[in-house]
Amino acid sequence: MEGFRLNSDRSETLNKTIRFPLELTKEIENAIEGKDVTFSGFVIQACKYALKNMEVKDSKKKENNKIQTTV
């Protein structure tokens, strides 16, 4: 599985309001300190990573179900 890497990204965006636990914001700010990525950029990349990996797990479950039903 591919690891999570921070990338600089300046694409078109839409504003959304979201609340974060204070401790999580501190952890994110520490993780991006000194890197060329904003808080929003980190959150976007983390969400994309989570969605990609969630899809992989979901597709593996579907494959396993197909194997079980055909056996």
10-51 confidence digits (pLDDT tens): 677 788 899 999 999 999 999 999 999 999 999 999 999 999
The model's confidence at residue 7, banded by pLDDT at 50, 70 and 90, is: low
Distance CA 25, CA 29 (A): 6
Residues 54-66: pLDDT tens digits? 876 666 666 666 6
What's the mean pLDDT in 2-9? 69
The model's confidence at residue 9, banded by pLDDT at 50, 70 and 90, is: low
Reading the block at residue 42, the tokens are: 């980190």
Asked if 40 and 46 touch (Cβ cutoff 8 Å), the reply is: no
Where helices occur in the chain by DSSP H, the ranges are 22-32, 39-70
Listed by start position, the domains of the chain span 22-70
Structure-token match 């929003």, residue found? 40
